[in-house]
Amino acid sequence: MLPDLTTLTLLLPEIVLVLSATALYVGGAFRPGHSLWPLVANGAYLAALGLLLGFEWGRWESLVEQGATASGPLSLDYLGQLLRSITLVIGLLLSLLMSRTAPDELKTEHAGTLMLAIAGLMFVARANELVLLFVGLELISIPTYALLFMGRRDRATGEATAKYFFLSLLSSGLLLYGFSFLYGMGGTTTLIGNGAEPGIREAVAALRAASAASVASAESVAGPNLWLLAPLAVILVSAGLCFKLAAVPFHFYAPDVYQGATAGNAALLAVLPKAAGVLAFTRLIVAIFPAYATAWQMAVIVAILTMTLGNICALWQKHVRRLLGYSSIAHSGYLLIGLSVALVADNDALRAEGLAATLFYLAAYAFASIGGFAALTYIAETGKPVDHVEQLAGCGRSHPLAAGVLAVSMFSFAGIPVFAGFWGKFALFASTLEMATGANYGPLSAWFATLAIVGALNAAIGAAYYLRIVGAMFFQSAPASVGVTTGASATAVQASASEATGSATTLSAMVACGLLVIGMGVVPAIGFRGAGYAGRSVAATAPAATPAAEAASNSSMPVRPGETSGDTANASTRDVTHNAARVVADQVTSVGNE
Amino acid sequence: MSQLLLVTIFLPLAGALAMAGLAPLGREAVRWTALVIAIATLALAGTVVNSFPADGATAFASSELAWVGPGSGAGPASDWLPDVRFSVGLDGLGVWLFGLSALLLLTSVLVSWDAIQDRPALFYGMLLLLESGCLGVFAARDLLLFYIFFEFTLIPLFFLIGIWGSEERRYAAIKFFLFTLAGSVLTFLGLLAIVLWDARHTGGALRFSIEGLTQGLAAHPLPESWQTWIFLALFAGFAIKVPLFPLHTWLPLAHVQAPTAGSVFLAGVLLKIGTYGFLRFNIPWLPAATASFMPWMLLLSVIGIVYGALIALAQRDMKRLIAYSSVSHLGFVMLGLFAINRLGIQGGTLQMINHGLSTGGLFAIVGMLYERYHTREISQLGGLARRLPWLSLFMLIFTFSSIGLPGLNGFPGEFMILIGMFQRGFVETAGAWRFGLQVIAVVAVSGVVLGAWYMLWLVRSVFFGPIKEPHDDDHGAHAGPHGSDHDKHGHGGDHGGDHAGDHGHGHGEAPLGAGPPDLRWREFAALVPLVIFVVWIGLQPEYFLRRMQSTLNPVADAMVRPIEQRWGESAPAVAGSTADQLGSR
């Protein structure tokens, strides 16, 4: 019997990447330095992107209309599709950025390893299965260890890599332990199933309802009450993911590792694990435990602590990458704002809004991060060391383009219009305040009003150190030219700077990121639309919360009048979704046969 | 006309982008292009403002482009997207501030003509970006668009202060940026809360149209407890921008460190965004909170008036003196706005324009003096009226305008504000604060006296009496306690400036020995337009007021009832009902 090829076609872009990576590994060993390899390294991303956008083009529209069609190991939803495309763009940018800094004798290995990590993130984006998800996460982590070592081989790098390696293993362990509880509760490894084959989500919802009913009726559940495992599962999985996100209290590796890594690797660390963390958090916590008090309260507290701690620690940093390490911690806090709104929301629209805000913010953050680190790489390539903020002095004059991109990234991080970051913060604050000002949320209002205000104040605190970087570049003259201010010497400085130019690849990555950040800011509608569909596709799959049960078991969710009607309404939309899911599942013949 | 308005807003932006291309062509090409763009912007803005109907309008020359939300692009249904539009238009509140922004751009370009030697393309690019932002702020008819322009003005001014400022420029630029940002993020939350309230009642996606929100809030007024919080949130951003008394500390620093053009813009236009925001959003949208906070706002304003004036009296640096005088004058504006009657609000709005003209002119003149003598120390200069008669004449005009001499523009503004305030204190309010308001009104008058005192003292010391001028640059730079302001960039620039002045345009051979030349053609061109309006508003305030009235009077009239409810004779009963309302929530 012929093997069923549907699953393979659905994973074609990933397969292209993995095959290209293999070709790079094998071929590079025989013909190192061949001019074909850079072409393969960058072309593979374009080919995969072409496949993704072209081959599956027709499916995008149906994804929008039908919401999620999760079944089997792959979730065919808009979220996955969108994140895979963005991942490929990120992969191309990172590949361009790192191609020059990689050591010559390891060029092909370097490119191949990066490609595997990108493929890992794409698997995570599409996984609807615990094992596949975990394999995807590891496929990101393991190449990252190798890349960190390849970047630069000195003591600091060694220490940073070892630290990252051990902590990453620890977090994987925590995550796996959490997965075991999820599996124990659900009895299956499929995350989101359908009526015929329930996944973990359906099983957990059933357990929750049974438990709530037993509390309400004061009778014990038949058999062991597995719902009692929920806090353990949520906390362990969140702990593992907080490491990926570099959120408090699992943040402390980030500054050390960023400082020890090359700028290119720092960009990789700033983007890939965070995107994976957000995706996994969405699939594992938001979709499975909607409106679960333990989960959202933890998310809110972690968000507040993370952004405040990250921003305040960053204020005192003098080392650029260390500073950006703390800044990336702060941005994790912002990502958690949106995720906690999505977690707590009791209706699909608001849940979708929270997720959409998170995704938009993630994209804005990713492009600004890569742009910023690319600018640092570019400046370093011209022979000017950039380890300390003060070493950036005079870059505004000697490297106007790189300094411009870095400034754009910093302003976007700070959330100043009209850069992408502003719209990210706008979406986050809008969803948070919608939660805070909602009509019937009672005590929830205070939680989310606090979250919004802390978030807003943090935006101002964060601006302080971003402006320090911009100020160093533009407001100070380079140390060498202090005391000589005539026009002639200024041109001399420019001339000397232009002698050593950075590589064209880094330049293109840098400029592309700058344009993306500005473009997302000037034309935010496209990004909002995409993020909105993605958020909706997951929000619709999340089972309707059981607020009545929640209210019975947890006093912080007040019982609201008229929620039974809302509940039935949600239930009916869910049925519609499931019917749609079944239709598409038939079209995409037996994806879920495994 | 609506196309013209869009072109006016985008022309400086296009010019700023063009500067990047012109940079290699050198300073001449850059500054002439900037001048051409400034003149074109002024002409366009003049045309738009001139055709503004004489009896006012609410949405003159308005146009709307979808940005986010419905109509912003192809794709399946997405009615959940926030409805943000690029929607601009002028009304009686924005129209003169819009014109003022265009007017001050010309002044700014001309006063920077020789002073800016370092990276002129970047400088003029930033100046033009700033101009686009300011024009947009006053024309925006969409809440988010307003906020975007409001925030966006921070970036160009940050660079203007930070790159071309004096010795402490880096600190000043960052302090300015952070102060403003810290306030405006809270403002952002407040504005979002208003939008969310509106969306909850209209049931649709978030909408940001200022007009739509005004209607929405009229149909479903915000509950009083919301109003209080939102008022405080908006206050955070706008009061820092104004700046109101305890939040003013960033302003003198930013002014002293900024290059002349930056100071002109900052004082002339950017501070008005704060008062504009209060008048545009706080008063009409949060009537109950406005009524409750009115006495406190008036108190802060009057403290600002007196405090700013007293500190100004103690200054030895001309720029710092004028900066503190701005605190005092903006206190007057706020006093007028929060007197919340027709006279007060009209006077306050007129005074925004007046302050922009007179203080813009004063900063320009201080910049010109600095180019000539490389000092801003009052004690180092004296008797300049004999050396620089034309410059002194302009200085006198702006001084008299600033202290409210009848016949010049300051008079109608201050007069209306004070009358409005007296009306508020002695006629209109009967509540517990009545006596307090009367005291505030009386104390505010002393601000006029103090204002005259420090300005005339400045003019007397610098322009009259025995001639006193620093002998050479180095002496001048290092003699005074604040002489170290004289930073290296500035030094190089000033030498170049003198050079260009002597050889490029040999217009002003100094009459007495080898002193610096009097006003050059470009300096005349920078100041004369301002003077025209100083005199015009002074002689014919009616022309300007009439165009505002139809927008401003309804704002004042709508506030009569809330104030009556809060502070009227039956105030205790109202307080009881407030408690009821709170209890019922």
DSSP state of B317: B
User: Residue B584 has what pLDDT?
Assistant: 39
Q: Which residues of B touch A460 (CB under 8 A)?
A: 178, 181-182, 185
CA distances in angstroms from B580 to A400, B469, B574, B575, B576, listed in the order given? 62, 69, 10, 9, 6
User: Residue A3 has what pLDDT?
Assistant: 58
Neighbours of A346 (CB within 10 A): 24
* CA-wise closest residue to A215 among A561, A443, A556, A555: A555
Residue A593 has pLDDT above 50, yes or no: no
User: Residue B201 has what pLDDT?
Assistant: 84
Return mean pLDDT, chain A: 81
State the nearest Cα–Cα gap between A147 and chain B, in angstroms: 37
* CA-wise closest residue to A279 among A90, A414, A455, A471: A90
Q: Which residues contact A366 (CB under 8 A, 6 or more apart)?
A: A86, A90, A270, A271, A274, A275
Distance CA B110, CA B36 (A): 11
Q: A480 or A118: which carries more pLDDT confidence? A: A118
Query: Are B162 and A61 a contacting pair at CB < 8 A?
Result: no
* CA-wise closest residue to A144 among A269, A312, A322: A269
**Residue B78 CB-half CA count within 13 A:** 29
Distance CA B492, CA B487 (A): 9
Query: Are A486 and B173 a contacting pair at CB < 8 A?
Result: no
Is-contact B355 B328, C-beta < 8 A?
A: no
Q: Which residues of A touch B174 (CB under 8 A)?
A: 464, 467-468, 471
**For residue A65, what is the enclosing H or E element?**
helix A57-66
Question: Average pLDDT of A551-557?
Answer: 38
Q: A442 or A471: which carries more pLDDT confidence? A: A471
pTM over 0.90: no
User: Residue B25 has what pLDDT?
Assistant: 83
Query: Are A459 and B185 a contacting pair at CB < 8 A?
Result: yes
3-state class (DSSP) for residue A117: helix
Tell me the sheet residues that pair with B85.
B66
pLDDT category of residue A479 using cuts at 50, 70 and 90: low
State the nearest Cα–Cα gap between B85 and chain A, in angstroms: 11
User: Residue A61 has what pLDDT?
Assistant: 63
Distance CA B472, CA B82 (A): 61
| Amino acid at residue number B35 | L
* CA-wise closest residue to B166 among B490, B498, B478, B494: B490
Q: Which residue has the tokens 């393969």?
A: A40
| Amino acid at residue number B264 | V
Chain centre to alpha carbon of residue B249: 16
Residue of B nearest to A64 (CA): B76
Question: Average pLDDT of A207-228?
Answer: 81
Q: Which residues of A touch B119 (CB under 8 A)?
A: 397
Q: Which residues of A touch B206 (CB under 8 A)?
A: 430
pLDDT category of residue A262 using cuts at 50, 70 and 90: confident
Query: Are A463 and B78 a contacting pair at CB < 8 A?
Result: no
Is-contact B382 B468, C-beta < 8 A?
A: yes
Count A/B contacts: CB-CB distance under 8 Å.
117
pLDDT category of residue A292 using cuts at 50, 70 and 90: confident
Query: Are B174 and A464 a contacting pair at CB < 8 A?
Result: yes
State the nearest Cα–Cα gap between B134 and chain A, in angstroms: 14
State the nearest Cα–Cα gap between B406 and chain A, in angstroms: 43
User: Residue A287 has what pLDDT?
Assistant: 87
Q: B214 or A31: which carries more pLDDT confidence? A: B214
Q: Which of B73, B177, B489 sits opposite A467 (nearest CB)?
A: B177
State the nearest Cα–Cα gap between A36 and chain B, in angstroms: 36
Cis peptide before A143 (omega within 30 of 0): no
| Amino acid at residue number A443 | P
Burial of B244 (0-12, 13-18, 19+ CB in 10 A): buried
**For residue B234, what is the enclosing H or E element?**
helix B224-241
Distance CA A492, CA A398 (A): 10
Q: Which of A349, A352, A471 sits opposite B170 (nearest CB)?
A: A471
User: Residue B336 has what pLDDT?
Assistant: 93
User: Residue B75 has what pLDDT?
Assistant: 56
Q: Which residue has the tokens 């916590």?
A: A285
Residue A46 has pLDDT above 80, yes or no: yes
Phi-psi region of A464 (alpha: psi -120 to 50; beta: other; left: phi over 0): alpha
User: Residue A542 has what pLDDT?
Assistant: 57
Residue of A nearest to B197 (CA): A437
Q: Write out pLDDT tens, residues A188-204.
A: 888 887 777 788 888 88
Q: Write out pLDDT tens, residues A236-256.
A: 999 999 999 999 888 888 999
Q: Which residues of B touch A352 (CB under 8 A)?
A: 80
Phi-psi region of B47 (alpha: psi -120 to 50; beta: other; left: phi over 0): alpha
Q: Which residues of B touch A353 (CB under 8 A)?
A: 80
Residue of B nearest to A439 (CA): B200
Q: Which residues contact A484 (CB under 8 A, 6 or more apart)?
A: none
Q: Which residue has the tokens 């950075």?
A: A502
User: Residue A62 has what pLDDT?
Assistant: 65
Q: Which of B68, B151, B159 sits opposite A525 (nearest CB)?
A: B68
Which tokens belong to B401? 């305008």
Q: Which residues of B touch A485 (CB under 8 A)?
A: 488-489, 491-492
User: Residue B10 has what pLDDT?
Assistant: 92
Distance CA A244, CA A267 (A): 14
User: Residue A440 has what pLDDT?
Assistant: 66
User: Residue A33 has what pLDDT?
Assistant: 74
Q: Which residues contact A58 (CB under 8 A, 6 or more apart)?
A: none
Distance CA B142, CA B163 (A): 32
Cis peptide before B443 (omega within 30 of 0): no
Which tokens belong to A537? 């596709």
**For residue B74, what is the enclosing H or E element?**
none
CA distances in angstroms from A322 to A177, A226, A315, A327, listed in the order given? 31, 44, 11, 9
Q: Which residues of A touch B72 (CB under 8 A)?
A: 525
State the nearest Cα–Cα gap between B238 and chain A, in angstroms: 16
Distance CA B574, CA B565 (A): 6
Q: Which residue has the tokens 């820092």?
A: B240
> Could you state, in chain order, the average pLDDT of each consecutive group of 10 residues for chain B (585 residues)?
88 90 84 92 91 82 80 61 86 91 92 86 92 93 92 92 88 91 92 89 83 89 89 93 89 90 91 93 92 91 93 90 92 92 92 93 92 86 85 92 89 92 82 84 91 91 84 45 40 40 39 69 90 92 89 89 78 41 38
State the nearest Cα–Cα gap between B164 and chain A, in angstroms: 8
Q: Which residues of A touch B81 (CB under 8 A)?
A: 525, 528-529, 532
Question: Average pLDDT of A4-8?
Answer: 70
Residue A328 has pLDDT above 90, yes or no: yes
Distance CA B307, CA B325 (A): 10
Query: Are B488 and A464 a contacting pair at CB < 8 A?
Result: no
Tell me the sheet residues that pair with B382.
B468
Query: Are B68 and A524 a contacting pair at CB < 8 A?
Result: yes
Rounded to 5 degrees, φ, ψ at A502 are -75, 175
pLDDT category of residue A582 using cuts at 50, 70 and 90: very low
Helix (H), strand (E) counts: chain B: 26, 2
Q: Which residue has the tokens 């005092």?
A: B328
Query: Are B173 and A61 a contacting pair at CB < 8 A?
Result: no
Q: Which residues of B touch A467 (CB under 8 A)?
A: 158, 173-174, 177-178
Residue of A nearest to B223 (CA): A437
Q: Which of B76, B488, B492 sits opposite A61 (nearest CB)?
A: B76
Q: B134 or A11: which carries more pLDDT confidence? A: B134
User: Residue A229 has what pLDDT?
Assistant: 86
3-state class (DSSP) for residue A476: coil
Q: Write out pLDDT tens, residues A416-428.
A: 988 999 999 999 9
Buried b (16+ CB within 10 A) or exposed e, B354-391: bbbbbbbbbbbbbbbbbbbbbbbbbebbbbbbebbeeb
User: Residue A187 has what pLDDT?
Assistant: 85
Percent of chain A whose pLDDT exceeds 70: 82
**For residue B396, what is the enclosing H or E element?**
helix B389-403
Q: Which residues of B touch A437 (CB under 8 A)?
A: 193, 196-197, 200
Tell me the sheet residues that pair with A129.
A190
State the nearest Cα–Cα gap between A206 and chain B, in angstroms: 31
* CA-wise closest residue to A128 among A589, A537, A532: A537
Residue of B nearest to A353 (CA): B80
State the nearest Cα–Cα gap between B190 and chain A, in angstroms: 10
Q: Which of A415, A475, A526 sits opposite B169 (nearest CB)?
A: A475
3-state class (DSSP) for residue A29: helix
pLDDT category of residue A469 using cuts at 50, 70 and 90: very high
CA distances in angstroms from B190 to A35, A438, B217, B233, listed in the order given? 57, 15, 14, 5
User: Residue A159 has what pLDDT?
Assistant: 86
Q: Which of A416, A459, A471 sits opposite B162 (nearest CB)?
A: A471
3-state class (DSSP) for residue A219: coil
Residue of B nearest to A467 (CA): B174
Q: Which residues of B touch A468 (CB under 8 A)?
A: 174
Distance CA B335, CA A358 (A): 43
